[in-house]
Structure 1
Amino acid sequence: MAEVTANPRGIPIAPFVEDVEAFVPDRTKIEENLAKFQEMIASKYQFMELNMQRRAQSLEEKIPDIRKTLDTVNFLSKRNSDKPLETLYELHDTLYAKAEVPGKLDEVYLWLGANVMLAYPIEEAKELLETKLKSAMSTLKNCNEDRDFLRQQITTLEVNTARLYNYDVTLKRKERIEAEEEAKLAKA
């Protein structure tokens, strides 16, 4: 069975150092490995985590808008009255305007962004919005999973850093004690 080296979306798994002595047999490599772990935490995993957080936040803002638009299109598709409907529509967060919607509608206009609005037949608009909603929900789920995964990788690297640092301190203490004992033997 092949060893997993990344999550499903390609984020690499941080190595876990079980045996510090075997990982760093040469004491001179401790500082180098400490720097490597710190660099991986800061420039790799935390950067990816920040990007995932921004992406998830953007999706969390878009999903309610997509749902609201889909609900409106569903309402308009079920309407079977020839009588015009008077309603309020949102211009901005707290600004609404009155509108009169004609009886039967064959098409709706969807705002696609970047100053683009297109007319769609109602059924096609529903399909498009449902697809966009599913895609956004799936992407948000993946973003949240990736953020959790990244947090685990950061924790693994922080643990590695602490273990390497503690090993370095232990070796320095051991060397200091040996040097003190040699100094005592030399005096005696």
Structure 2
Amino acid sequence: MATSGSERRGIPAAAFVEDVQTFLTTTGSDATSALNTLQERRQQYKLVEMKLLAQQRDLQAKIPDIKKCLETVEALLAKQGTGEATIVDFEVAEGIYSQARIEATNSVCLWLGANVMLEYSCDEALDLLKKNLDNANAGLGAIVEDLQFLRDQVTITEVTIARVYNWDVHQRRKLRQAEKDV
């Protein structure tokens, strides 16, 4: 009998097959078609895994940038009201840095993506960056959990493939032996 759990964020749970004969009878398929279906499911899981790993890499690259921006805004807020200028190094292009002198300011500009930059007050920018960091960390945590769930489903599917294949080999041997005995 096949037992299955529930899906997680659109990823269907794999059914663990305890009894291959019952599984094939209830699905109305033979071993070959069941193996093909299971192989397709395994490929789908692998495709989803690749997409999740890409999302994980993107978030892992984005989090340090958000932290860096957050530190910069916090430094600007700390200097606010002192009348002191802040000297910062910033990246002009990849690997090329320059220094800038920032006079006391009440606002900063943040890149939002898609070539969009908006000006925020330092307090608003701080809140936005903290929210973005929290969201990125939460998203990364969810992706890690999804990957673990997915790896479990791949393992269950591979075990089921092995069980169906072994059952099929055993059935073919029994059939050959029965033909020899006749």
TM over 0.5: yes
1:92 alignment partner in structure 2:
93
Given the alignment of the two structures, is residue 56 of structure 1 paired with residue 76 of structure 2, yes or no?
Answer: no
Retained in 1: the 8 A contact 2:63–2:137?
Answer: yes
Alignment of 1:73 with 2:66, yes or no, is no
Identity, % of aligned positions:
37
SS state of the match for residue 6, structure 2? coil
**TM-aligned CA deviation for residue 85 of structure 1:** 2.5
Name the residue aligned to 1:119. 119
SS at match of 1:16: strand
Gaps of 5+ in 1: 183-188
Larger Rg: 1
Secondary structure, counterpart of 1:98 in structure 2: strand
- The residue type paired with residue 32 of structure 2 is E
After TM superposition, give the deviation of residue 28 of structure 1 in Å: 6.1
Indicate the SS of the match to 2:15: coil
The one-letter amino acid of 2:39's match is Q
Cα distance in 1 for residues equivalent to 2:147 and 2:93: 32
Moved over 4 A (4+): none
Shift of 1:4: 4.5
Structure 2 contact 5–14 (Cα < 8 Å) conserved = no
Shift of 1:151: 1.0
For residue 173 of structure 1, what is the aligned residue in structure 2? Answer: 173
Supply the distance in 2 between the matched residues of 1:147 and 1:93 (Cα, whole angstroms).
32
User: CA offset at residue 181 of structure 1?
Assistant: 1.2
CA-to-partner distance for each residue in 1:128-163, whole Å, 9 max, x for gaps?
A: 000000000000111111111111101111111110
Superposition map of 1:124-143 within 5 A:
124-143=124-143
Show CA shifts across 1:7-43 (max 9, x none): 2x2321111101112112499611111110001111x
The 3-state SS of whatever aligns with 1:109 is strand
Q: TM-score scaled by structure 2? A: 0.91
Higher relative contact order (CA 8 A, sep 6+): 1
User: C-alpha offsets along residues 45-83 of structure 1, whole Å, 9 cap, x if unaligned?
Assistant: 111111101101100000000000001001101114213
Deviation at residue 178 of structure 1 after TM alignment: 1.1
Partner of 1:35: 36
Q: How many corresponding residue pairs? A: 177
**Structure 2: gaps of 5 or more residues:** none
Once residues 68 and 110 of structure 1 are traced to their aligned partners in structure 2, the CA distance between those partners, rounded to angstroms, is 12
Instruction: Write the distance in 2 (CA, Å) between the matches of 1:143 and 1:128.
Output: 22
How many angstroms apart in 1 are the aligned matches of 2:106 and 2:155?
55
Is the Cα contact below 8 Å between 2:42 and 2:154 reproduced in 1? yes
Mapped partners of 1:69, 1:146: distance in 2: 28
Greater shift, 115-124 or 84-93, is seen at: 84-93
